[in-house]
Structure 1
Amino acid sequence: MTGKEVTVTLWGVEAEKFDSSGQPVVAIKGARLSDFGGRSLSALFSSTVMVNPDIFEAFRLRAWYDQGGYALNSQSLTQTRSLTSGSAMNWKTLSDVKNEHMGHGEKAEYFSCVATVVYMRKENCLYQACPSSGCNKKVIDQQNGMYRCEKCNKEFPNFCYRLLLSVSSTHKKYHEHQTFSDFCSDHANLADIWDNQWVTCFQETAEVLLGHSAEELGQLRETDEAAFNEVFHKTNFTTHIFKNRVKLETYNDESRVKVTVMDILPVDHREYSRRLLSNIQKLAR
């Protein structure tokens, strides 16, 4: 009703079952907000998506839309995310990132690429975290049915699983690692036609990439190891648009470029092909 519109990305089962016929009212709880190259929403696997919910706000919005709201010239908050907007997306090949020494300056740099997942390490990708909102600290199993969080200085009867596809051996705090390479060895390897790159995926992007929530993966690891392994196997050789942050980081006098995935989008192959053709025409001129 404010005259704004925004793009929402649905994944997995939510995408498969979604029916847009009749222009339904949609309510989403727990969506992820991204402002990388424009505002957008992503319905994670932990999000709740309701179509035509039986609530007052939905009826109010429906009435507004049917009585003339549909004719409003709305303003998109997601225009700069268009695949045809090369400058806004800062498209790079993985070899460009290395050849141009991106991330070596004082500030982090951002780039987008179309790449394929060629390998993901599943070892130590999950850890038992504090259930307090916003904490995410690894808890200590007290072996008595309770889990202690040193940060909150409390014990809890439960924990929540957290995904972190970036640490090679343990999920300890940075100062507990002996070398920077131990702290930063990444667990997802992307490749395009020119090069490959190890990247880090935190909880939200890891859930999107794997197609499962951290809680689902935690349960699978405990009850069905074969199904757990299959999740990672199916992720290999899938292609996506990756929006990344790149920065040279130093720890214990060791430096390396760290690439962190900020957002993952599906590839619109029609728009992607148009962009490639446009680039070919520019080069030909």
Structure 2
Amino acid sequence: KKTVIVSLWGDLATNIGQELLDIADKSPVVAIKSLKVGDFQGVSLSAISKSLVLIDPEVPEAQKLRSWYDSEGKDTAMAALSSGSIPSNSGNRSVYSDRVTLSHITSNPSLGAEKPAFFSIRGYISFIKADQAMWYRACKTCNKKVTESTGAGYWCESCQKNDEECNLRYIMVVKVTDASGEAFISTFNEEAEKIIGCSADELDSLRSQEGEDSPYQLKLKQATWTPHLLRVSVSQNEYNNEKRQRITARAVVPVDYAVESRNLLENISKMGVSQ
């Protein structure tokens, strides 16, 4: 009796994802083979290249699940394994807690002066600068930054070892917009992957492809104007003896419109009570 978020990418998202979206009101049974398990928001599941997704498969387990859901499951309270809960180093709250508009953050320059402040926002990724430094070379063991060795390979100062290969990990800035305004938000690897829809290594391979319709530019364009729920931290950085506000994404979650509708109804109800 638990729920978990599963992310689909590429053709799976385009084809199977659209099919699921079209029949979501029928609550289909979904069987998925070969998923990547991560610790994003407690537990997260992501499709990989060899993932297999079946909708309403004709197997006993699916029939049993359907029978349970129709008789009692749809009215049963579920424990969420990944419904927006954030690890403790990210404010230990939900993307549905401390919801504010971007203007609430940007119009209060003193926020985060003494210690980081955490908020949740709902907004659109409105711009991603294509020529920014979007990633760094990382050690495959510890994810720390590596440097090119004099001979060959990459040197990790943290692990004190040289490897033939390294990974690319995102570290980029995106512009987020909501009804109240806009702000530039720093994102790191896990959060950026949720926004872009692929790994930094995959995006780098697209960047190297030339053509009139650049697949790299197209990928960034596809990532914009999609709504997200973001858990952000607000802190103060000093630059040229001037303190500046720094907003960092700590979690990025797709908008669950059913949950958003329930929250909206609850807020409207509270407004009626207060009056």
Partners of 2:222 and 2:53 in 1: how far apart? 29
2:135 corresponding residue in structure 1: 126
For the pair 1:255 / 2:243, whether they are aligned, the reply is: yes
Structure 1: which 5+ residue stretches go unaligned? 53-61, 166-186
Query: What is the aligned counterpart of 2:204 among 203, 213, 218?
Result: 218
Give the residue type in structure 2 aligned to 1:206.
A
So what's the TM-score if we normalise by structure 2?
Answer: 0.69
1:169 corresponding residue in structure 2: none
The Cα of 1:256 is off from its aligned counterpart by 2.0
Give the residue type in structure 1 aligned to 2:4.
T
More strand by share: 2
Partners of 1:11 and 1:252 in 2: how far apart? 43
- CA offsets, 1:231-255, max 9 Å, x none? 1122222222222122223467442
Partners of 1:29 and 1:47 within 8 A in 2: no
Percent identity, please: 22
Partners of 1:148 and 1:87 in 2: how far apart? 38
1:115 corresponding residue in structure 2: 123
For the pair 1:266 / 2:269, whether they are aligned, the reply is: no
1:152 corresponding residue in structure 2: 159
The Cα of 1:148 is off from its aligned counterpart by 2.9
1:182 corresponding residue in structure 2: none
- CA offsets, 1:61-116, max 9 Å, x none? x59x77x998797750359749xx99952211011123455742543222221111
Give the residue type in structure 1 aligned to 2:174.
A
2:58 corresponding residue in structure 1: none
2:23 corresponding residue in structure 1: none
Give the residue type in structure 2 aligned to 1:231.
K
The Cα of 1:147 is off from its aligned counterpart by 2.8
Structure 2: which 5+ residue stretches go unaligned? 21-26, 55-60, 86-92
For the pair 1:139 / 2:147, whether they are aligned, the reply is: yes
Partners of 2:126 and 2:166 in 1: how far apart? 32
Partners of 1:247 and 1:47 in 2: how far apart? 38
Partners of 1:80 and 1:88 within 8 A in 2: no
- The count of corresponding residues between Structure 1 and Structure 2 is 245
- CA offsets, 1:7-28, max 9 Å, x none? 2131333444268888455466
Instruction: Report which stretch shifted further, 255-264 or 187-196.
Output: 255-264
Give the residue type in structure 2 aligned to 1:153.
Q
Partners of 1:247 and 1:48 in 2: how far apart? 41
1:203 corresponding residue in structure 2: 189
Matches within 5 A, 1:174-253: 187-224=173-210, 226-250=214-238, 253=241
1:17 corresponding residue in structure 2: 16
**SS of 2:99's equivalent?**
coil
1:76 corresponding residue in structure 2: 79
Give the residue type in structure 2 aligned to 1:118.
S
Cα separation, partners in 2 of 1:265 and 1:42, compared to 1, 3 Å: farther
Cα separation, partners in 2 of 1:107 and 1:138, compared to 1, 3 Å: same
Partners of 2:82 and 2:149 in 1: how far apart? 47
Partners of 2:163 and 2:84 in 1: how far apart? 42
Partners of 1:102 and 1:246 within 8 A in 2: no
Partners of 1:102 and 1:109 within 8 A in 2: no
Q: CA RMSD in A?
A: 4.0
1:34 corresponding residue in structure 2: 40
Give the residue type in structure 2 aligned to 1:127.
Y
The Cα of 1:159 is off from its aligned counterpart by 2.1
So what's the TM-score if we normalise by structure 1?
Answer: 0.67
Query: What is the aligned counterpart of 2:97 among 89, 94, 109?
Result: 89
- CA offsets, 1:115-174, max 9 Å, x none? 1112111321133332x32233132154x5533334333332222222110xxxxxxxxx
2:57 corresponding residue in structure 1: none
Cα separation, partners in 2 of 1:253 and 1:266, compared to 1, 3 Å: same
